[in-house]
């Protein structure tokens, strides 16, 4: 079974790396890209997905300059939970900490919050690093789990 994947990522380089990786995987069918909170929500409304790869530091709108919204991805996740609570989400971030208002939220705290709020729909939090394949391994594990359900 091939999985249709929604990638919600505003960083063009990271987005290209993810899409290139997905294109090499036999488990990946179509991959659709969104670049913002509004773009991610629109894609959720327009298409059906088996897996979502979600960045947390997203602008509200495509081409938006408000990328400082450190936890914008949570809005996309909350919307997805309302529409399709069974679609697993992998949070893929390149930051060790994200800004929430005037505070910083480290990835361990973020992971705990996502597990608490989203339960099993939150499949994993992977740290994106150019020099590491750990995030790719994480995506493969989640994809295998989704395909074997």
* CATH code of 79's domain: 3.40.50.2300
Total structural domains within the chain:
1
Does the pLDDT of residue 98 top 80, yes or no?
no
Mean pLDDT of 125-134: 92
* 115: containing domain: 3-147
Dihedral over alpha carbons 46, 77, 127, 51 (to 10 degrees): -40
pLDDT value of residue 95: 72
Q: How confident is the model at residue 87 (pLDDT cuts 50, 70, 90)?
A: very high
Question: Any residues with CB less than 8 A from the CB of 131 and at least 6 apart, and which?
Answer: none
Cα separation of 114 and 134, whole Å?
20
Residue 7's SS3 state is: strand
The predicted structure's pLDDT at residue 31 = 97
Question: Dihedral, CA atoms, 6, 123, 71, 62, nearest 10 degrees?
Answer: 0
pLDDT category at 141 given cuts 50, 70, 90 is very high
pLDDT at 80 over 80: yes
How high is the pLDDT of residue 13?
A: 94
């Amino acid at each position: 079974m091939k999985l249709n994947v929604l990638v919600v990522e505003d960083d063009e380089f990271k987005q290209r790396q993810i899409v290139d990786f997905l294109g090499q995987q036999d488990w990946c069918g179509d991959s659709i890209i969104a670049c913002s909170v509004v773009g991610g929500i629109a894609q959720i409304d327009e298409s059906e997905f088996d897996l979502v790869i979600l960045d947390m530091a997203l602008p509200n709108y495509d081409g938006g300059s408000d990328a400082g919204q450190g936890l914008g991805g949570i809005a996309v996740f909350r919307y997805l939970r309302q529409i399709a609570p069974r679609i697993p989400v992998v949070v893929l971030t390149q930051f060790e900490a994200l800004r929430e208002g005037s505070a910083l939220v480290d990835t361990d705290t973020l992971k705990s919050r996502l597990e608490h709020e989203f339960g099993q729909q939150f499949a994993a939090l992977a740290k994106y690093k150019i020099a590491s394949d750990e995030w790719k391994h994480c995506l493969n594990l989640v994809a295998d789990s989704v395909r074997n359900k």
